A and B are shown apart, each in its own frame.
Chain A
Amino acid sequence: MTLESATREQCFEQLLLGKAVKSAGWLEAIRDEALARARDLKFPSERHDDWRLTDLSALLQHRFRPVDSSASVSLADIEKFLIPGTARLVFVDGSHAPQLSDLTQAGNGVTVSSLVERSGDAQLESNFARHAAYGQDAFAALNTRFFEDGAYIHVAGEATVPIHILNVATRRETPSALYPRVLVVMQANSRATVIEDYAGIGDGTTLTNAVTEVVLGDHSQLQHVRVQREEQSAFHIGHCAVDAAGGSVYTSTALAFGARISRLDLHATQRGEGAEVMLNGLALISGRQIADTHTRIDHAAPRCKSHQLHKCIADGSAHAIFSGKIIVHEGAAGTDAVQSSRNLLLSGKARIDTQPQLEIFNDDVSCKHGATVGQIDADALFFLKSRGLTEARARNLLTHAFAAEIIEKIAVPSLVELLGRTILDESMKGAA
């Protein structure tokens, strides 16, 4: 056994020693199965095709333990993360924090609660753990085994305000593993905006291993925003599974700004005729950060549409990875798929890998994909300098402009404003 694989094994063994969570019988069975799957699957090795570009060594050197006490977090501590005009459900280190939540605006026909609180709900039970592939993904299996609580959103009708699920990780003495969980169930013809948000207080060594499941009923519409703005010392592994019924419209905007290493696996399945899936992604990283986004869209029904735009911006010695798979299944006639990967390298040491992949098992389709990797446009840079802007300010502005195309797709103006003011400026401080 090599040193590398020994470290990998030890790190994983420690995760398997997580804290067993008492739950209802139906869930207990799922948890047991998940643990068995996690044991079989093990940590993905560098030989694993979906993980071969992702250098996990910074993560593997830690031994992450379960969180065994609750942190004291006040509203003032999380104020900078709040998004005006939203209903808010807060979790601190994976535990529901009702005192920090504010659901007064959530509206009629909209359930926003903790999973534990809604235990016994038939809709919850029939959808939970049915979509996230914990049988094939070791991290999803670990989450399914060890999650303590999570967010449950059920929408019938139209949600009046965006729903903000804020997951806050705090600084602990020892490296800790957190297992946030989200289930969104959209009834037929319902509409909502959900913001799934990961942030941290203090530079703790945390491993956030999150699983989200989204179920869209016929002709429902969901705007799903995912913001990963964790501390630079944190690790983040996210898994999101989307099941889209006929005529539904799913729009995702997934943003990765924080964490030492972050990974998102986003898998959308178009199960019903005429479903639309729009995936917008942005990774904006610097220093030694690694951000890896793997997406997969399954066109499994006729006349479905998918449109994807993913952007990576890497500065310093950062490494951004994008792998986007689109599978057009037999019988998915009239598929219309467009995928585009646009990348900006800000330094000679930064690296971006992009792998758009199309697999088509059908004739009657229109599929387009393309990828570009570029640098800051020299003419634009000179123009801005000739207007008095410093090199750093000009580069910052052009980077901002490149990112803005994704951020401005978010249909929540207060969040767009917040991100423009905080995250973008923050992540580009190094350039100033």
Chain B
Amino acid sequence: MIKAGSKTLLEVKNLHAAVQVDGAGSVEILKGVDFTIRAGEVHAIMGINGSGKSTLSKVLAGHPDYTVTGGSATFEGSDLFTLEPEARARAGLFLAFQYPVEIPGVSNSALLRLAYNTLQNERGLEELDPLEFDDLLQEKIKVVEMDPRYLSRGVNEGFSGGEKKRNEILQMAVLEPKLAILDETDSGLDIDALRIVASGVNQLLTPDNAVVMVTHYQRLLNYIVPDYVHVMSAGRIVKTGGKELALELEERGYDWLKAA
């Protein structure tokens, strides 16, 4: 929800970023992105494949494949690009991955506890032992209606696409980030899984945090209603509007918004 005078969480100015492509050298994907996110807001970043929206989320999280070539991103007053990915996470930035990795041999609950305790340390709070953490986890899995059996499995090991996405939201529920970027969290989800994931995200929204949904389709936005919709094309945000912009895109497609 938009509130007057709420705190700025993230301010991105004229962001340029490039990726190394075999045979083509450094290719610029982001060509001057500007947007600002305040506490309590829900943003959607939409656009066709290749418009740069997934790159934007990866660059903000610090993916090593991308190089920032210009512009800035300020997260709660600090220069985001001076921070390692782990420091960004500790500062309260969270990326829900489009393609969550499977890590056999590391149990889901052990990873969640390790990540949780790392953040507790950072915040100067008590770490939880396995039993205490299990109590916390039993509460958190209700947010995404997850079967507790998935906790003792390897991270995402043998999970279906929907279960993997739920697991991302479970991590978000445990880590309680200030800003969560959901990268195509709706892709590959059937309608029931979409409803559960969206309901999970809605439960986690507070006046102090914010969510950015990166998505191709309007569908997710029926469940998580955005305050702002940004349309990306050719590495820039070419239009920003309210939730009605998403409906307009659904009707008219993206062609009319192509960057000049």
Query: Would you call A387 and B111 a contact (CB within 8 A)?
Result: yes
Query: Chain B interface: which of A130-138, A278-286, A350-358, A399-407?
Result: A399-407
Task: Write the B72-93 contact mask toward A (1 if CB under 8 angstroms, else 0).
Answer: 0000000000001110111000
Residue pairs across A and B with CB atoms within 8 Å: the count is: 71
**Taking the complex as formed, is A388 at the interface, i.e. its CB lies under 8 A from any CB of chain B?**
yes
Task: Give every chain A residue within 8 A of B122 (Cβ-Cβ).
Answer: 388
Docked CA distance A377–B106 (Å): 14
Query: Would you call B89 and A385 a contact (CB within 8 A)?
Result: yes
Docked CA distance A227–B84 (Å): 38
Query: Would you call B105 and A405 a contact (CB within 8 A)?
Result: yes
The distance from the CB of B22 to the nearest CB of chain A, in whole angstroms, is 15
Query: Would you call B114 and A379 a contact (CB within 8 A)?
Result: no
User: Chain A's interface: helix, strand, loop or mixed, by majority?
Assistant: helix
Query: Would you call A388 and B104 a contact (CB within 8 A)?
Result: no
Kindly identify which residue among B64, B95, B100, B105 contacts A404, using a CB–CB cutoff of 8 Å.
B105
Kindly identify which residue among B62, B63, B114, B171 contacts A397, using a CB–CB cutoff of 8 Å.
B114
Docked CA distance A2–B86 (Å): 54
Task: Give every chain A residue within 8 A of B62 (Cβ-Cβ).
Answer: 382, 385-386
Would A386 and B101 be within 8 Å (CB), given that A378-B64, A397-B114, A400-B106 are in contact?
A: no
**Taking the complex as formed, is A390 at the interface, i.e. its CB lies under 8 A from any CB of chain B?**
yes
Docked CA distance A144–B95 (Å): 61
Query: Would you call A388 and B103 a contact (CB within 8 A)?
Result: no
Docked CA distance A405–B157 (Å): 13
Kindly identify which residue among B105, B115, B175 contacts A402, using a CB–CB cutoff of 8 Å.
B105
Task: Give every chain A residue within 8 A of B141 (Cβ-Cβ).
Answer: none
The distance from the CB of B122 to the nearest CB of chain A, in whole angstroms, is 7
Task: Give every chain A residue within 8 A of B115 (Cβ-Cβ).
Answer: 387-389
Docked CA distance A377–B88 (Å): 21
Which of A371-400 touch B at CB < 8 Å? 377-380, 382-391, 393-394, 397-398, 400
How many B residues touch A, CB cutoff 8 Å? 28
**Taking the complex as formed, is B118 at the interface, i.e. its CB lies under 8 A from any CB of chain A?**
yes
Which of B153-175 touch A at CB < 8 Å? 154, 171, 175
Listed by A's residue number, 27 A-B pairs whose Cβ atoms lie within 8 Å are A377-B101, A382-B64, A382-B85, A383-B100, A383-B103, A385-B85, A386-B85, A386-B86, A386-B89, A386-B95, A386-B97, A387-B89, A387-B111, A387-B118, A387-B171, A387-B175, A388-B86, A388-B89, A388-B90, A388-B118, A389-B115, A389-B118, A397-B106, A397-B111, A401-B103, A404-B106, A405-B104
Q: Which 7 A-B pairs have the closest CB atoms?
A: A401-B105, A388-B89, A404-B105, A385-B85, A387-B115, A388-B118, A385-B86
Q: Which residues of B contact A (CB under 8 A)?
A: 61-64, 84-86, 88-90, 94-95, 97, 100-101, 103-106, 111, 114-115, 118-119, 122, 154, 171, 175
Q: Which residues of A contact B (CB under 8 A)?
A: 377-380, 382-391, 393-394, 397-398, 400-405
